Structure 1
Amino acid sequence: MPFTVPPEAVTTVHSHVTDALRTPRLIRLSDNTMLVRFETLKIYAALGAVRALLADGTVRPGDTVVDSSSGIYALALAMVCHRYDLRCHIVASTTVTPTIRSQLEILGATVDQMPAESDLRLDQDRRVARVRQLLHANPEMHWMRQYHDPNHCLGYAELADLVRIALAGRPLTVVASVGTGASSAGLIQPLRQHDPSTKLVGVQPFGSVSFGSERFQDPEAIIAGIGSAIPFGNVRPDLYDRLHWLTFHYAMAGTVDLMRTHAVFAGLSTGAAFLAAAWEAQRHPEREHLVIGADTGHRYVDRVFTRHEEALAPAPLKPTEIDALTDLAFPWSTMDWDRRAHPDHAPLTRPVSRPSPEMYRAAEHGQGC
């Protein structure tokens, strides 16, 4: 029987890989849950920011841009610099893998990688300090400031248009890791221009400062890409309707289950958002839930996927619903945020013990943008 190519399989020929990479893939996960999957979501951030800087003359071809990154933004920025003939200098997190570093170097980026460090808060502080040293020595460099410059939100308007067209017909809830805040802000604001009822659910690791859980210690948490150890200007609390805080092991449960049930190989932030979205979708069957799949699972192979036999079964996992940050508790908490600019209750300053193995076993069985 002859093979016929369906019309939807016909693809556009792109002049540069950045155009191909920013094309999303929509995957139906349940009746009211959809995954939008990317090889690297931050292509939108890097493209939007660089184009704005070129348009207003802040940078010109041949100039050097510099920024700090835990991996996927670095690769996106290096590819965009390749496209627009810019030089790129990356101050890389200790979590940047040899695979990503090799790609950065082949693309012509200069890479400063921080030494091995178990405390990712110190890693982020060191990266920012190193960027400042570089700027002092090379004032002609332009600091991209992906954590604070609202230009990084601009590129996501295109994604918002695609989402709005593809998912028209039902009220929409976007479920995404908070991270730098740029993708959430850049996506939700244009969506709400067409439908103000569009909801935004943010996912955070315990230990992140963005929504007041910095007093917690979750030693295995990979802060980069999901939360933050330092305040980010592009995180807009007033845009979020609900927040979920998850431990590493709960995020791992979602990540492995996404692969097991849907054959989707995605990163830890996607798995965490998938777990939170499944809970939200059960409570709100009338709404479409869009899970943001920011990257693939390649940089999580050793920390997550090779340990798949340790992953918790997701079905019994449920969050503790809280009314204030003072009630935050391991291993999974959720709270109505109601688009507030600031929390009603300041976070506690006393340290909180790390999650115990017994807790996991019990759960398994029972300026900015």
Structure 2
Amino acid sequence: MYDHIAEAVSAPALVRLTDGLVCVRFETMKVISANAAVSRLLADGRVRRGDTLVDSSSGIYAYALALACHRHGLGCHIVGSTTVDTIARVQMEIMGATVEQVRPSEDLKLDQNLRVSRVREILSENPRHHWMRQYHDEVHYLGYREVADRIAREVRGEITLVGGVGSGASTGALATYLRRHGSVDVAGVQPFGSVTFGSDHVVDPAILIAGLGSSIPFGNVRHKLYDTVHWISFDAAVPGSVELLRRFGIFAGLSSGAGYLAARWERRLAPERTVVFVAADTGHRYVDSVFAPYRDAADVEELAPHDVTTTEALRLPWCRMAWNGSAAPHGAQFDECAPRR
């Protein structure tokens, strides 16, 4: 029996979709990261019960941190973008979190900078508050150790891990812990327009998929962990999400659709390996933009990536490149603004 709902929603389901293709399906993935991070901070004495934790978020990390704070008797202050929807905001506020949103912006970099600037103002006014720094503090890796150990126990043979890069914690941590059990190939999924793997010069006119990339450097991204990178546009990810629901009954978000698309391709290229991909959250916030117009979605069988050898050659709607553990590209190197653990 669980002692708190945060523990229940942290545990993913491992679902075998086809021979050699496994989905690690979370209800909301970042709960496992936030919960473990808060537990470690309390154990180390970096925060105490009654303290307030602060961070910036464009979506699911905000809810995850609010849930972890609720479990551990901590205050929670979220500086969110306008993408934090009413459903998430109301839940967080009822659990006791304070949620404020920065002014609307069409520029993701401006939005992220506005949020970070506001966090710094809050910290200057409240020096006892603790900044979680989900993008930069490696304490967010810890929660994925148990998931990686479970994958290693339940999945036989050689593994290719596929998932969104995002803040760097999920696929980065899973790759780190899985490689303690043996050799694992890692394929990271990125949107166009993200600096993380050098696609910021290519604009996706539809959307920059939340949770996959960033317009600013992230300290938790360890580029050397990734063997392959897929850049996937909104229009290519939508069929992936629709196919996951139509064929397998998995109702998952847009980043999951992109991951599924990349995973199918990696499986095709290496049929002797088991491909494990991460579905980070449910599809509820994408009902109107992705699932309602499902009849207009392309057939995933008709989609294939452009193979490129340099980021200068990137183009919509989908590209794949061998990364081979290369260093961060220019513009994605994180400049230490505060110590990392």
1:338 aligns with 2:324: yes
Please tell me whether the aligned partners of residues 36 and 142 of structure 2 are also in contact (alpha carbons under 8 angstroms).
yes
User: 1:151-190, aligned counterparts within 5 Å?
Assistant: 151-167=139-155, 169-190=156-177
Distance between the aligned counterparts of 2:210 and 2:100, measured in 1? 17
Please tell me whether the aligned partners of residues 207 and 229 of structure 1 are also in contact (alpha carbons under 8 angstroms).
yes
1:32 aligns with 2:20: yes
User: 1:301-320, aligned counterparts within 5 Å?
Assistant: 301-320=287-306
| 2:248 pairs with one of 258, 262, 275 | 262
State the shift of 1:118 in Å: 2.8
Deviates more, 1:77-86 or 1:24-33: 24-33
| Amino acid in structure 2 at the alignment position of 1:71 | G
User: 1:1-369, aligned counterparts within 5 Å?
Assistant: 13-167=1-155, 169-195=156-182, 197-343=183-329
Give the share of equivalent positions with the same residue, in percent.
51
SS in 2 for 1:91: strand
With normalisation by structure 1, the TM-score equals 0.88
Please tell me whether the aligned partners of residues 188 and 228 of structure 2 are also in contact (alpha carbons under 8 angstroms).
yes
| Amino acid in structure 2 at the alignment position of 1:192 | R
State the shift of 1:339 in Å: 1.2
| Amino acid in structure 2 at the alignment position of 1:215 | H
| Amino acid in structure 1 at the alignment position of 2:41 | L
Distance between the aligned counterparts of 1:191 and 1:198, measured in 2? 7
**Aligned equivalent of 2:335:** none
Distance between the aligned counterparts of 2:293 and 2:57, measured in 1? 26
Structure ID, larger Rg: 1
Distance between the aligned counterparts of 2:43 and 2:172, measured in 1? 22
Structure 1 segments (4+ residues) deviating >3 Å: none
Distance between the aligned counterparts of 1:299 and 1:341, measured in 2? 34
| Amino acid in structure 1 at the alignment position of 2:59 | G
Distance between the aligned counterparts of 2:199 and 2:166, measured in 1? 14
Task: Work out the number of aligned pairs and report it.
Answer: 334
| Amino acid in structure 2 at the alignment position of 1:77 | L
Distance between the aligned counterparts of 1:43 and 1:152, measured in 2? 10
| Amino acid in structure 2 at the alignment position of 1:307 | P
Please tell me whether the aligned partners of residues 254 and 271 of structure 1 are also in contact (alpha carbons under 8 angstroms).
yes
State the shift of 1:321 in Å: 0.6
| Amino acid in structure 2 at the alignment position of 1:74 | A
Distance between the aligned counterparts of 2:293 and 2:96, measured in 1? 34
Query: Quick one: structure 1 residues 155 and 288, their matched pair in 2 at CA, closer, same or farther if it must change by over 3 Å?
Result: same
Q: Which whole-Å deviations, capped at 9, do the CAs of 1:137-191 have from their partners, x for residues lacking one?
A: 1111100000000000011111111111111x21001100111010112111111
SS in 2 for 1:118: coil
With normalisation by structure 2, the TM-score equals 0.95
Distance between the aligned counterparts of 1:297 and 1:185, measured in 2? 23
| Amino acid in structure 2 at the alignment position of 1:179 | G
Distance between the aligned counterparts of 1:115 and 1:308, measured in 2? 32
| Amino acid in structure 1 at the alignment position of 2:160 | T
Please tell me whether the aligned partners of residues 193 and 208 of structure 2 are also in contact (alpha carbons under 8 angstroms).
no
Deviates more, 1:43-52 or 1:139-148: 43-52
State the shift of 1:292 in Å: 0.2
**Aligned equivalent of 1:359:** none
State the shift of 1:123 in Å: 1.6
| Amino acid in structure 2 at the alignment position of 1:152 | H
Distance between the aligned counterparts of 1:194 and 1:341, measured in 2? 24
Please tell me whether the aligned partners of residues 235 and 368 of structure 1 are also in contact (alpha carbons under 8 angstroms).
no
State the shift of 1:368 in Å: 6.8
SS in 2 for 1:155: helix
SS in 2 for 1:256: helix
Please tell me whether the aligned partners of residues 164 and 255 of structure 2 are also in contact (alpha carbons under 8 angstroms).
yes
Distance between the aligned counterparts of 2:15 and 2:318, measured in 1? 26
Query: Quick one: structure 1 residues 138 and 368, their matched pair in 2 at CA, closer, same or farther if it must change by over 3 Å?
Result: closer
Q: Runs of 5+ in structure 2 lacking a partner?
A: 332-338
Distance between the aligned counterparts of 1:246 and 1:258, measured in 2? 16
Distance between the aligned counterparts of 1:276 and 1:184, measured in 2? 14
| Amino acid in structure 1 at the alignment position of 2:222 | R
SS in 2 for 1:335: strand
SS in 2 for 1:315: helix
Q: Which whole-Å deviations, capped at 9, do the CAs of 1:252-283 have from their partners, x for residues lacking one?
A: 11111111111111011100000010011011
Query: Quick one: structure 1 residues 17 and 181, their matched pair in 2 at CA, closer, same or farther if it must change by over 3 Å?
Result: same
SS in 1 for 2:293: helix
Please tell me whether the aligned partners of residues 66 and 88 of structure 1 are also in contact (alpha carbons under 8 angstroms).
yes
Taking only aligned residues, the RMSD between alpha carbons, in angstroms, comes to 1.4
Please tell me whether the aligned partners of residues 30 and 60 of structure 2 are also in contact (alpha carbons under 8 angstroms).
yes
